[in-house]
């Protein structure tokens, strides 16, 4: 059956990335004039993290299709801008996610088992099943909470940074959002506040081409999303989001500038969403497959792999071992998650207030004493 789309223009990587700063060339070699000259071990670590994210991503889609988890929103094709930007943040800095950044949370140190538990919403889920899958957080990892409403994380990140500035703490916040979120009220509020108070914030716009079914060119009349910062007094810059070195260099410079009192930066990371918006979306309904095919050739993982090859740092055998190790680790995490019971009924009421107020205690007592369906709470 032929699928009819609503797309009229194919945006190839060449068109989408025109005039954007790039470090890694088509041959895999870094441009010496822009190369941040990162430690090779860090570059390899980012590659391993990107491959790990991809393997996990693909498996979770399969689990959702099998009915074993209810939902997943992945980062297929966007691993480069997510992992490189997370790596560019300092240890003391906070990250405020959108909903595609589970790779950044794993980079920050959350055990894979904890993340998989969140996908199942079981008793060991750090969120205790209070939010849907892929709505994670981790105070221990200086990582804010995912929230479904569009853009709310932007004002949270700016406010957090302002508080740190008032306390004279050496702390920078970064916040992820898609280009579609620039149409939200939260974007205006966050940008205006950040500009006025010069908060140490790095605003990371993942321009992946699509806000679900709305193409980026239908989202704004401005030439770029980065230039939106001008009206707010916020520095705006664009980088090739599928080029790990370009992303790291751009974000690190913005972090150092913010930490030195230079104020916020809006970074437009040009990338592409290779999969659907989530497991609830079928992108064939609105975009042309030829466009997706052209972007698969610009896959950030393949690009970094080619760069590592020029440095003599990767072989086919090593690459396969990375994937096999992740696969084995993930299978064990899934087995454990599926064998874990559901959260206790009391978790609906606990950890909301420091001391449970009387009205909530009454609701809990009534709920606990009520009838329970068989095989459930």
pLDDT at 350: 87
CATH code for the structural domain at 13-343: 3.40.50.970
Is the pLDDT confidence value at 376 over 80?
A: no
pLDDT at 4: 57
CA distance 183 to 152: 12
**Average of per-residue pLDDT across 70-82:** 97
CA distance 7 to 5: 6
Q: Kindly report, residue by residue over 199-209, the tens digit of the pLDDT.
A: 999 999 999 99
Decide if 174 contacts 96 (C-beta within 8 A): yes
Least confident of 1-10, 173-182, 183-192, 334-343: 1-10
pLDDT at 210: 95
**Average of per-residue pLDDT across 177-195:** 97
pLDDT at 3: 53
Q: Which two tokens stand for residue 215?
A: 């193409």
**Average of per-residue pLDDT across 112-122:** 97
Decide if 200 contacts 194 (C-beta within 8 A): no
Q: Kindly report, residue by residue over 299-343, the tens digit of the pLDDT.
A: 999 999 999 999 999 999 999 999 999 999 999 999 999 999 999
Model confidence, pTM: 0.94
Q: Which residues are catalytic?
A: 273, 277, 286
* Terminal-residue alpha carbon distance, the chain: 44
Mean pLDDT of the chain: 94
CA distance 291 to 12: 6
pLDDT at 1: 44
pLDDT at 21: 82
**Average of per-residue pLDDT across 161-174:** 98
Q: Which two tokens stand for residue 181?
A: 């979120």
Q: Quickly count: other Cβ atoms within 10 Å of residue 373's Cβ.
A: 6
CA distance 22 to 247: 9
Q: Where are the domains of the chain?
A: 13-343, 347-377
Decide if 261 contacts 100 (C-beta within 8 A): no
Decide if 113 contacts 333 (C-beta within 8 A): yes
Decide if 266 contacts 226 (C-beta within 8 A): yes
pLDDT at 8: 66
Q: How confident is the model at residue 371 (pLDDT cuts 50, 70, 90)?
A: confident
């Amino acid at each position: 059956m032929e699928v009819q789309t609503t797309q009229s223009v194919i945006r190839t990587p060449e068109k989408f990335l025109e005039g954007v700063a790039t470090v890694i060339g088509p041959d895999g070699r870094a441009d010496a004039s822009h190369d941040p000259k990162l430690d090779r071990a860090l570059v390899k670590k980012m590659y391993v993290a990107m491959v790990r994210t991809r393997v996990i991503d693909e498996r979770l889609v399969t689990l959702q299709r099998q009915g074993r988890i209810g939902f997943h929103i992945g980062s297929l094709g966007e691993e480069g801008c997510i992992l490189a930007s997370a790596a560019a943040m300092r240890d003391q800095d906070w990250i405020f996610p959108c909903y595609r950044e589970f790779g950044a949370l794993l980079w920050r140190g959350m055990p894979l088992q904890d993340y998989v538990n969140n996908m199942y919403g079981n008793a060991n889920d750090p969120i205790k099943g209070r939010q849907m899958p892929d709505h994670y957080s981790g105070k221990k990892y200086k990582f804010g909470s995912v929230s479904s409403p569009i853009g709310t994380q932007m004002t949270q990140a700016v406010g957090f940074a302002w508080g740190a500035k008032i306390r004279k703490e050496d702390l920078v916040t970064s916040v992820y959002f898609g280009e579609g979120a620039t149409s939200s009220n939260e974007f205006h509020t966050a940008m205006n506040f950040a500009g006025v108070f010069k908060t140490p914030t790095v605003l990371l716009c993942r321009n992946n081409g699509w806000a679900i079914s709305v193409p980026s060119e239908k989202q704004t009349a401005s030439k770029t999303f980065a230039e939106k910062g001008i009206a707010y007094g916020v520095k705006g810059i664009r980088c090739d989001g599928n080029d790990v070195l370009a992303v790291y260099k751009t974000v690190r410079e913005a972090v150092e500038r913010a930490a030195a009192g230079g104020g916020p930066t809006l970074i437009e990371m040009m990338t592409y969403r290779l999969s659907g918006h989530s497991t609830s979306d079928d992108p064939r309904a609105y975009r042309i497959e030829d466009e997706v095919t052209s972007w698969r050739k610009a896959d950030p993982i393949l690009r970094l792999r080619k760069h590592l090859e020029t440095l003599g740092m990767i072989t086919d055998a090593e690459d396969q071992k990375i994937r096999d190790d992740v696969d084995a680790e993930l299978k064990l995490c899934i087995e454990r998650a599926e064998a874990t019971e559901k959260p206790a009924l009391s978790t609906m009421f606990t950890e909301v207030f420091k001391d449970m107020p009387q009205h909530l205690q009454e609701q809990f007592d009534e709920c606990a004493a009520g009838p329970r369906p068989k095989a459930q709470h």
